[in-house]
Amino acid sequence: MTQKIANDVYWVGVRDASLVVFDIVVPTEHGTTYNSYLIKGEKHNVLLDTSKKDFSETYFANLEEICPVKEIDYVVVHHTEPDHSGALKELLQRNPDITVIHSRPCRKFLDNLLNQDFKSWVISSGDTLDLGGKTLKFFVTPFLHWPDTMMSYLEEEQILFSCDFMGAHYTTEKTDSILNSALSEEDHKDMVEAFEFYYSMIMRPYNEHILKAIKMLDELEIRMVAPSHGMVMDKNPQQFYEWYREKANNYLVRLQSKRATIVYASAYGNTARVMEFVREGMEDAGVEVDVFDTSSAPMEQIINSIELASAVVFGTSTINAKAPEPIFSVIANLVVLNVSGRKAAVFGSFGWSGEGITMCEDLCRAMHMKLEQEPFRVQMTPSDEQLDQAREWGYGLGLKVLG
């Protein structure tokens, strides 16, 4: 099934209602769509993205309904993740004369994806393609969410083809339409939830880049947003766009923050005791501190706090030569944030070898966090003297957080 969404603009994508997990870690309660669009001009026909390879048969059948592949002149690859570029190789096999339009960083990805020669046009922001009666304008918007991401804007129809930005893993069998204006109120609520969840799982690490893109896109009149997943937003596109701006502002909030997040795991209360004094020291230095015990704090709260903190402090026990699982779990969940360059420090109590502390430090380094000082280690139960030292260690760290 295909759909005309504006004058000479067609949705030719595919629905994947049965998808339950996307990219290994993203649950997709409402399935998803792989959106592809065809624009027919008086001079040229241009295809925007393709689909996941597994859906090639349906995809090409849809596409041929609107335009024979032989009559397509250009394909815009907004991003090379295989959910959108999976059918590209077959497209070029069917018509090797098609010119691939892409960003500069995309070139290498395309070479590695296709392993063949192809006609290529590297665009810069502001470049336009005259389709005959229609003008497509391009924007390079890196890291939304890959280095190669770009977007297109159809001037005459005021449609922003936004790639994964403003996307949602959502589809429903209750309507054949791809437009959000066709959803019932109840389904629209589900769609909005999926839209927000998509941001929190996929776009959230890139707030800084969202703000950069928005600065460029603000010049556009946007009547419709056509992302690469989920519904095309003809109803209230501006509202969704502003929602993104507000979320992305968290990046600026964090830059000005004087906050630290302490996350700790403690079996017998030794690391917990050290934590109290580290916290006191940091607060004495003037830092606002959020503390989370991994055995009771909801993961979402921990991650939300880290998002807005200028430093992350891990307190860890050592169990069987490792940091305990909840510490690894917090680190794994940092996948939805960008912690590169973030200030960090580690403390903990151990019995005889203390690998938990070392592992935690190694992982911080691997995530390009900035370890501010040597870890604070205590063997078994901290003495009063060690607790004083913990406070001093926290105070010194606090000054670095503020500095």
Ligand X SMILES: Cc1cc2nc3c(=O)[nH]c(=O)nc-3n(C[C@H](O)[C@H](O)[C@H](O)COP(=O)(O)O)c2cc1C
Q: Give the range of 45-53, 106-114, 115-123, 312-320 binding ligand X by CB under 6 A.
A: 312-320
Binding partner of residue 266 among ligand X, Fe ion, none, CB cut-off 5 to 8 Å per kind: ligand X
Tokens of 37: 């669009």
Spatial CA neighbour of 180 closest among 168, 162, 164, 198: 168
Site string for ligand X, 257-296 (x = CB under 6 A): ---------xxxxxx-------------------------
Residues whose CB falls within 8 Å of the CB of residue 107, separated by 6 or more in sequence, listed in order: 120, 122
Q: Among residues 62 and 317, whose Cβ is nearest to ligand X? A: 317
**Cβ closer to ligand X: 54 or 293?**
293
121 in contact with ligand X (CB under 6 A): no
Give me the phi and psi of 236, to 5 degrees please.
Answer: 55, 45
Return the residue of 80, 349, 358, 386 that touches ligand X, per CB under 6 A: 349
Q: Which residue is nearest to ligand X (CB)?
A: 351
Output the smallest distance, CB 329 to Fe ion, in A: 25
148 touches Fe ion (CB under 5 A): no
Could you tell me how many residues of this chain bind ligand X (CB under 6 A)?
Answer: 18
Q: How many residues bind Fe ion (CB under 5 A)?
A: 3
Which residue's entry shows tokens 């003297």?
Answer: 385
Q: Which two tokens stand for residue 66?
A: 């609107």
Spatial contact of 126 and 132, defined as CB atoms under 8 Å apart: no
Q: Which phi-psi region, left, alpha or beta, contains residue 235 (left: φ > 0; alpha: ψ -120 to 50)?
A: beta
Among 319, 371, 387, 399, binds ligand X (CB under 6 A): 319
196: its two tokens: 């927000």
**Contact at 8 Å (CB) between 306 and 274?**
no
Q: How far apart are CA 177 and CA 314, in angstroms?
A: 49
**Number of neighbouring beta carbons within 10 Å of residue 169:** 25
Closer to ligand X at the Cβ: 250 or 271? 271
Instruction: Name the binder of 317 from Fe ion, ligand X, none, CB < 5-8 A by kind.
Output: ligand X
The footprint of ligand X (CB under 6 A) covers 266-271, 317-321, 349-354, 380
